[in-house]
Amino acid sequence: MRVTFWGTRGSIASPGPLTQGYGGNTSCVQVSADDGTCLILDAGTGIRALGDALPQDVARIDILLGHLHMDHIQGLGFFGPIFAPGREIHVWGPPSATLDLRGRLSRYLSPPLFPVRLRDVESRLELHNAPAEPTRIGAFEVTAATIIHPGPTVGYRISENGASMAYLSDHEPALGVDGFPVAPAWTSGHDLAAGVDVLVHDGQYSEAERQARIGWGHSSTVEAAAFARQAGAKRLICFHHDPSHDDEAVDRLVEAATAVAAGVLVSGAREGVSLQV
Amino acid sequence: MAQRSIELILFRQLATSLAVPVFLVDEAGDLVFLNESAERLLGIRFDDIDELPFEEWSTGFRAREVDGTLLPPDGTPLVRALQDRGPTHQQLVITGNDGVDRTIEVTAFPLEGGRGRLIGAVAMFWEPGEP
């Protein structure tokens, strides 16, 4: 599988000269297979450029939303294929006990927040709850599970031919825990990340910032490294960079994670970078 | 051991911070956590027992009505909450592992996940006379 980062930033887009290295667009990651299967993890502002770059002959597009905070759906209305007549697009998102996915997305994709209503797009758009059981989408097996973050939120594990990656973009597994990490059975997201080749994980904060923002739903890069180490992930890619962090700040946070990663290869997600898993 | 559901993980973390005694079981009725306040009430330490199958904890504390009638294993408020998927409340007498009889009020309720799946159940204990 090939993993390409189109948006790596958390919370709000933060373009500018100081963030050019890691990028300013919000969460969007493409996962593609040799047979043309195209998964898109989250629809932050990075999805606009991805939509422009996608070949017309991609028969089906699956967008897997981790949750519905704005930085993960804001690009949906600017994703060109969604307006292409007849284009087959499936959007998956976390289930809610109160409102279906269409109803929740329509809160944004409707006036006055957006000029076009979701029901008026011309693609063949199908909306689904994130699968409760492992599900095949083209070449990939996709597993979704609820993880700790405010509001309904899922993480994803994607596997193909023995390769695997996990995507936990917004995740606070250390919430309420003394001495994180605790036992795997009591660690949010552990099963999704267990033994993966690549773990894309929330690394929004420094340790000091994290202490001031407990309950906001995010992790420090050091916590992300501890989580990756316990899960046995081979590689950790710190993701969802804080909008206030310039490239030098992200470099320092990646270094802090590397110092405690104990064998896990650590890097920071960079917009425009693609890797083969 | 497979990872517990996120609802159980979050409830355990909440219970760890509560002063009210909390007893947490999974969907099979097996004890998966009790907090420090419950440890004091039941005379056991969670670190010593880790988790307990339903068959052991449901008879281990000799739960009985205030008139002394012994409750069957499936007659405790926690098990009824799990089976009936609704809240229950009852006054009981229990004997802790320390041999002390205590009269307690038990409030129990089921935990259902976002997809309506039964995750487990929670019992909270109150000692009469507490504020």
Taking only the tens place, the pLDDT of each residue in B83-123 is 999 999 999 999 998 999 999 999 999 999 878 889 999 99
CB contact under 8 A, A187 and B3: yes
Q: How confident is the model at residue B130 (pLDDT cuts 50, 70, 90)?
A: low
Residues across chain B: 131
Residues paired with residue A265 on neighbouring β-strands, in sequence order: A235
- B24 close to B4: Cβ distance less than 8 angstroms: no
Half-sphere exposure of B101 (CA within 13 A, CB side): 8
**CATH no. of B6-126:** 3.30.450.20
Beta strand extents in B1-131 (DSSP E only): 22-26, 31-34, 88-95, 101-112, 118-126
> What pLDDT score does B50 carry?
83
Closest residue of A to B14, CA-based?
A176
CB contact under 8 A, B13 and A177: yes
CB contact under 8 A, B10 and A148: yes
Task: Please return the burial class of B101, using the count of CB atoms within 10 Å of its CB with bins 0-12, 13-18 and 19+.
Answer: exposed
Closest residue of A to B13, CA-based?
A176
> What pLDDT score does A224 carry?
98
- B11 close to B24: Cβ distance less than 8 angstroms: yes
- A24 close to A9: Cβ distance less than 8 angstroms: yes
Mean pLDDT (chain B) is 92
Q: Measured between alpha carbons, how far is A169 from A147 in angstroms, rounded to an integer?
A: 10
> What pLDDT score does B93 carry?
95
Taking only the tens place, the pLDDT of each residue in A154-172 is 999 999 999 999 999 999 9
Chain B residues in contact with chain A using a Cβ-Cβ cutoff of 8 Å: 1-7, 9-10, 12-14, 16-17, 113-116
Taking only the tens place, the pLDDT of each residue in A32-54 is 999 999 999 999 999 999 999 99
Among the partner-chain residues A95, A148, A183, the one whose CB lies closest to the CB of B114 is A95
Phi-psi sector, A162: left (phi>0), alpha (psi -120 to 50), beta: left
Q: What is the DSSP letter of A54?
A: S
- A70 close to A105: Cβ distance less than 8 angstroms: no
* 3-state helix/strand/coil string of A172-230: CCCCCCCCCCCCHHHCCCHHHHCCCCEEEEECCECHHHHHHCCCCCCCEHHHHHHHHHH
Mean pLDDT (chain A) is 96
> What pLDDT score does B113 carry?
86
- A188 close to A150: Cβ distance less than 8 angstroms: no
Closest residue of A to B9, CA-based?
A186
ipTM attached to this prediction: 0.78
| Mean of pLDDT values over B74-79 | 94
> What pLDDT score does B58 carry?
87
Instruction: List, in order of start, the domains of chain A with CATH numbers.
Output: 2-276 (3.60.15.10)
| pTM for the structure as a whole | 0.91
Write out the two tokens for A176.
Answer: 């309420």
Contacts of A189 in chain B (CB under 8 A): 3
**DSSP for A110-170, written as a single string:** STTT-SS-GGG--SEEEEEEPPSS-EEETTEEEEEEE-SSSSS-EEEEEEETTEEEEEESS
Q: How confident is the model at residue B131 (pLDDT cuts 50, 70, 90)?
A: low
Q: Is the pLDDT of residue B1 over 80?
A: no
- A64 close to A39: Cβ distance less than 8 angstroms: yes
Q: Measured between alpha carbons, how far is A9 from A257 in angstroms, rounded to an integer?
A: 18
Query: What does the domain layout of chain B look like in residue ranges?
Result: 6-126
The low-confidence residues of chain A, meaning pLDDT below 50, are none
> Regarding predicted confidence, which is higher, B22 or B128?
B22
Taking only the tens place, the pLDDT of each residue in A64-95 is 999 999 999 999 999 999 999 999 999 999 99
Q: What percent of chain B has pLDDT over 70?
A: 98
Sequence-distant contacts of B5-9: CB under 8 A, at least 24 apart: B5/A146, B5/B113, B5/B119, B5/B120, B6/A145, B6/A146, B6/A147, B6/A148, B6/A188, B7/A146, B7/B111, B7/B113, B7/B119, B7/B120, B8/B32, B8/B33, B8/B111, B8/B119, B8/B120, B9/A148, B9/A186, B9/A187, B9/A188
